[in-house]
A and B are shown apart, each in its own frame.
Chain A
């Protein structure tokens, strides 16, 4: 069945105007999705990445004619290494999960070079789903280690699973409860003691810039989500970029190519023991331009201010909500924290999903819900440094009002949202009778 006939420009524009009116973006309202770092996307960066000197650049043109692009990549890679304390950076990975993949394949290559192929990777039970999925994609088996009552790594449990078959330990730090691992140096040393690598999922780097360089905690590699910490837009799901920073020991294994500076010229080089290519060309360049512009705007002082404000605003919201909701880890957090809707579920049958949908009626995007998996009826809240105090206060008010409504009018919460373009959608029907394209009925092949 061919494509339908084309449409006039005005028809297309009106259609997408209609679709845009049915979407909630960051400019619509606060978007406190935990571990997603939904900070403001500066408009100047949108302009800069669209300069014709960047967009009209073919990746195969001679590098002598693309020195500006290579210089930008070189400086961005160096700045990311400086922020995190690592020795070298690849800008190739297209997303965080792709960065995880790249790093684990480098571990694999480094271990095989030692003649020490291994089978497993340890992750904590608070890990994002991409971690175990990446482990599998790299041909390893996942060992999950439980968190302790403080929400951080249980050292005894870790000791029990660490052996010489472990290729790596993958940690998000601060973790998805918004807590910095206080024993981090000990943890990475334990991994190193059995010959394993320590990997940091950098999804939560927004809490650390200028405060600590995570390499100094003993990590061997980390990925950075430029679409989180460095203000590149999420694009309704992507594209992002997931550069990986590594120690000097791992630098020879970086994917090809990397940018180097040789006698005042920027060049592409292939690292000595490269794992090869992980994608076509060099990276999601227009996302790199946005991140570069963000860095050059903020500078060292601005970056530190970003992380400090992210931490202060998260703690502010946390302390203002502590009476209205259960707080499973009631202590200072980094840039995000978790709440639990257990009390509401027990008292009035209102679930976290209902609270999330009701927030939409108040004009807020809901937080990340039902994650991390170890917290019952979890809500994970990350306000980010760019939200005004007035907006934080309005969010706090809305959350408190919903907590009250949960007891006074649970039916309304079950029926939320009421003010959006659609009511609650039937996901069960979508999964039972799958329709993923408008096509005439055919016989399944």
Chain B
């Protein structure tokens, strides 16, 4: 398991999503561990830009050939931008989950940072 590759410039959720704070918004995506578990990703259902969602609410779905994984909001917020490149090339999530495979940019109104995991804590979760 390539757990050592989880970058330490961001935080993680126990649902295997990452959150990277960039000024007043945050980018979210799924982790290396999640993409490996899912396998070849064939489709992603992206949220609507401008959608206002609360913590724990599903904001999209990632599909491989034989499984589906829901994406859950790590906090309350508004979807500012979605990665439309994923519509045509969802496999960007497989090849570069922490870079070009980002899923959405969200302006959080309430994000409980202390409930998110730092890199060592997330690595531990993956190894468990």
Contacts and interface: CB of A to CB of B under 8 A. Distances in A.
B58 to A, nearest CB: 16
B65 interface: yes
15 contacts: A427-B65, A427-B66, A428-B40, A428-B42, A428-B64, A428-B65, A431-B42, A431-B43, A431-B63, A431-B65, A432-B40, A432-B42, A432-B43, A432-B90, A432-B91
A428 B89 CA distance: 12
Contacts of A427: 65-66
Contacts of A432: 40, 42-43, 90-91
Contacts of B42: 428, 431-432
A94 to B, nearest CB: 26
Contacts of A428: 40, 42, 64-65
Range, interface on chain A: under 10
Interface of B: 40, 42-43, 63-66, 90-91
Nearest to A433: B42
Nearest to B39: A428
A433 B100 CA distance: 20
Contacts of B66: 427
A377 to B, nearest CB: 14
Interface of A: 427-428, 431-432
A431 B67 CA distance: 12
Interface of A is mostly: helix
Residue from B42, B63, B90, B91 having most chain A Cβ neighbours under 10 A:
B42
B94 to A, nearest CB: 10
A432 B66 CA distance: 12
A352 to B, nearest CB: 13
A259 B117 CA distance: 64
A379 B65 CA distance: 20
A432 to B, nearest CB: 5
Nearest to B89: A432
The 6 closest A-B pairs by CB, nearest first: A431-B42, A428-B40, A432-B42, A427-B65, A431-B65, A428-B65
A428 B67 CA distance: 12
A432 B94 CA distance: 13
Contacts of B43: 431-432
A333 B63 CA distance: 36
Contacts of B64: 428
A431 B44 CA distance: 11
A383 B95 CA distance: 43
Contacts of B65: 427-428, 431
Given A428-B42, A432-B40, 7 more contacts: A427-B66, A428-B40, A428-B64, A431-B42, A431-B43, A431-B65, A432-B90
A75 to B, nearest CB: 43
Nearest to A431: B42
A431 B64 CA distance: 8
A269 to B, nearest CB: 44
Contacts of B63: 431
A87 B78 CA distance: 57
Contacts of B40: 428, 432
A184 B37 CA distance: 37
Nearest to B63: A431
A432 B63 CA distance: 10
A144 B104 CA distance: 32
A385 B42 CA distance: 41
B24 to A, nearest CB: 35
A426 to B, nearest CB: 10
A303 B44 CA distance: 50
A356 to B, nearest CB: 14
A430 B66 CA distance: 12
Nearest to B43: A431
